Amino acid sequence: MQRIKSMLNSKHFKRFAPLAVVIIVALVTFTTCLPRAEPESENPDPATINEKPPVSDPTAEQGREPPTLPEPKPEPEPEPGYIWTYNPLTGLPTDTDISNNRPLAIMVNNAPEAQPQHGISMADVIYEILVEGGRTRMMALYQDVSDVGIIGSIRSSRLYYVDIVQGYDAIYIFAGGSPEAYTALSNRNITRLDGVAGHADIYYRDSNRRSSLGFEHSLMTTGERIMRWLPTYDFRLTHEPGYERALTFTEDGTPQSGSPASEFAVRFSSGKSTTFSYEADDALYYLGQFNRAYRDGNDETQLAFTNVLILKTSVSQIAGDREGRIRVATTGSGAGYFACGGEYTEITWSRAENTSQFEYKLNDGSDLVFGQGKTYICIIPNNVEIDFT
């Protein structure tokens, strides 16, 4: 302590005392200006936890307008999703969209002496109906014939087939016809390719059939010929806008609460029956006629169908017709059966007029839903009974 007092009273300290005071004041000022470390809060304010410090705009500080940013580029339109296309006669998916094409309705000979038929197994829908003499004739409907190959032999039209063609808005392929059929074809302006009157370019005579089966059983066509010539004709190839189809399909069309239908026969006359035998492995009905398997002459494929319809209607002979031709009612309503998946159920059919499509109802009034696949339709007289087993 005595030493400090001595130093303060020395002449050297008194000489530099003002300077020392200045230095001490400066140090105290500098120390008090330093930032103090705040203790970390145990409970920070939630509103400030994720708060980011404000970002200054350097251009604003310099008194300049901020640069104009380029307009953002619009997001590209997403690629359209896959559009499911289907065959409206079968409900099955297709690689290309053929759903609005007008189907082709082709008259196919079924006389015993004209067998085998060709291209018949690839039809989407087949109608089998009586003609004169207790025989039947087929009308085969195709949504696409491009891969069918040979089709035939081609035979003549009847009025009730014209009626059905009109309901499908189909292009009709046949060779000749009854007087009633020709009258209806002309009056109703049906799109037709007649092998007897006017469109011989899509037909040809098979020389082997001509020599072995006879001239009337030798008229043939092919899917390739039809596809080549169709665009050259002066008629529309697609349905008009607003065209609606009456049929609906599901993956499994087996009737609910149905009865067994593994084997049955449809008897058209004393000389003609068509048999149906169900195979569970592929859920198809395999057909037989003339006491043997019903096979396609192109590749020996046995005809097989997912759905079988049996429609009962009024069938009568035309008075005074020298050929014994018949009338078959295709409008009005009637009873019938539907078989699919090895079972059958009773149905009713109706059709308001010749331009209408067939409509089918179950006994409870609901619409019949078909299994996805091909359909075979038998139209028979009202008094014919069917035994299902």
CA-closest candidate to residue 149, choices 125, 117, 175: 117
Paired sense of beta strands 171-174 and 359-362, if any: unpaired
Per-residue pLDDT tens digits for 162-185: 999 999 999 999 999 999 999 999
Task: Report yes or no on 267 lying in a domain.
Answer: yes
Does 193 fall in a domain?
yes
Q: For residue 287, give the CATH number of its domain.
A: 3.50.90.10
pLDDT, one tens digit per residue, over 194-219 is 999 878 899 999 999 999 999 999 99
Tokens in use for 200? 């011989």
The residue range of the domain holding 298 is 104-381
pLDDT in tens, 40-73: 444 444 443 344 444 444 444 444 454 555 565 6
152: nearest Cα among 203, 211, 215, 89: 203
Residue 323 lies in a domain: yes
> How large is the average pLDDT for residues 240-262?
94
Residue 71, classified by CB atoms within 10 Å of its CB into exposed (0-12), middle (13-18) or buried (19+), is: exposed
CA–CA gap between residue 84 and residue 95 (Å, rounded): 9
Residue 288 in any domain: the answer is yes
Indicate whether 118 belongs to any domain: yes
Q: Is the pLDDT of residue 381 over 70?
A: yes
Segment among 5-9, 221-225, 378-382 with least mean pLDDT: 5-9
At 360 the pLDDT is 98
Work out how many domains the chain is built from and give that number: 1
In a domain, 87, yes or no: no
In a domain, 152, yes or no: yes
Q: What pLDDT does residue 200 have?
A: 84
- pTM (2 decimals)? 0.79
Q: Spell out the SS3 assignment of the chain.
A: CHHHHHHHHCHHHHHHHHHHHHHHHHHHHHHHHCCCCCCCCCCCCHHHCCCCCCCCCHHHHCCCCCCCCCCCCCCCCCCCCCCCCECCCCCCECCCCCCCECCEEEEECCCHHHCCEECHHHCCEEEEEECHHHCEEEEEEECCCCCCCEEECECCECHHHHHHHHHHCCEEEECCECHHHHHHHHHCCCCEEECCCCCHHHCEECHHHHHHCCHHHCEEEEHHHHHHHHHHCCCCCECCCCCCCCCCEECCCCCCCCEECCEEEEEEECCEEEEEEEECCCCEEEEEECCEECEECCCCCECEECEEEEEEECEEECCCCCCCCEEECCCEEEEEEEEECCEEEEEEEEECCCCCCCEEEECCCCECCEECCCEEEEEEECCCCCCCC
- 93 within some domain: no
Look at residue 239 and tell me whether its pLDDT is greater than 80: yes
> Residue 8 has what pLDDT?
45
d(CA 9, CA 134): 153
